[in-house]
Amino acid sequence: MPYGEKSKEQLIEYSKKAFDFFCEKNVKAVVMACNTTSATVYDILKDDYDFKLYPIIQSVTEILAHLPINKIGVFATEATINSHAYSAGINLVNPDMEVIEIACPEWVKIVEEHRENSSILELKTKIDEMNLYTPDKIVLGCTHYPYLLGQLSKLINGDIFINPARSFVEFIKSDLDSLNLLTDLSGIGKEEFFVSASPSNFKLASEVFYNISSPVILL
């Protein structure tokens, strides 16, 4: 990591390994929460597996396209921006919406290294660049970026930002329900975490957004 700096070939290789592992676990659905893999891998691998695949970008761009606005900005990793997945998905539904895409390759590291409070100038550079286009809304197109909202909101009204994960979760729940795949576990479900390396580092980094109480298993 971060995935945003990897080549397309590397991302396909990583995703195949993950999907093959999920096949062994007999999962019913896989959430591609990563914008970068959603942008670069989904279309290549989507027909190779029997489980339901939910890619974040392809799932939320239709929702974004129906927003009552004229211009929307997207902050994302370099790989996501270079793929133009957000603009392609939005303009497929709404060709009149202007989409401004700006890469923020350092933002993932800022979050993972807990440098939010010392990186205000790095954040301001990208905000200033985006402001030149006067967008109505700005999508935080990477799972890490919403954790910068506190600092970003000091530079621009926080109401302008969209965390696509919120719409994504509702979309997945609704779709699973329509396919009769939504299970009511009534609190009896369990969590399992598997990593390809450094379980302790993973657990520490995860504390930014979630308290992992289950063991982290090294594959």
Query: What's the pLDDT tens digit per position in 180-218?
Result: 988 877 777 788 999 989 999 888 888 877 889 899 999
Contact between 5 and 108 under an 8 Å Cβ cutoff? The reply is no
Cα separation, 120 vs 92, in Å, equals 35
pLDDT surpasses 90 at 174: yes
The DSSP code for 112 is H
From 203, 195, 51, 64, select the one nearest 141 (Cα to Cα). 64
Question: Does 34 qualify as catalytic in the annotation?
Answer: yes
For the chain, what's the residue count? Answer: 219
The pTM of this model reads 0.88
pLDDT average, residue stretch 142-168: 95
Percentage of the chain exceeding pLDDT 90 = 76
| Domains in the chain, CATH or no CATH each | 70-163 (3.40.50.1860), 188-219 (no CATH)
Question: Does 142 qualify as catalytic in the annotation?
Answer: yes
Active-site hit among 11, 30, 32, 34: 34
Contact between 58 and 80 under an 8 Å Cβ cutoff? The reply is no
Percentage of the chain exceeding pLDDT 70 = 98
Residue 112 pLDDT grade (very low, low, confident, very high; cuts 50, 70, 90): confident
Model pLDDT, residue 99: 98
From 65, 14, 51, 68, select the one nearest 36 (Cα to Cα). 14
pLDDT surpasses 70 at 163: yes
pLDDT surpasses 80 at 1: no
**Greatest C-alpha distance within the chain:** 50
Most confident of 56-60, 110-114, 117-121, 187-191: 56-60
Active-site hit among 102, 103, 104, 142: 142
Model pLDDT, residue 205: 81
pLDDT average, residue stretch 67-74: 98
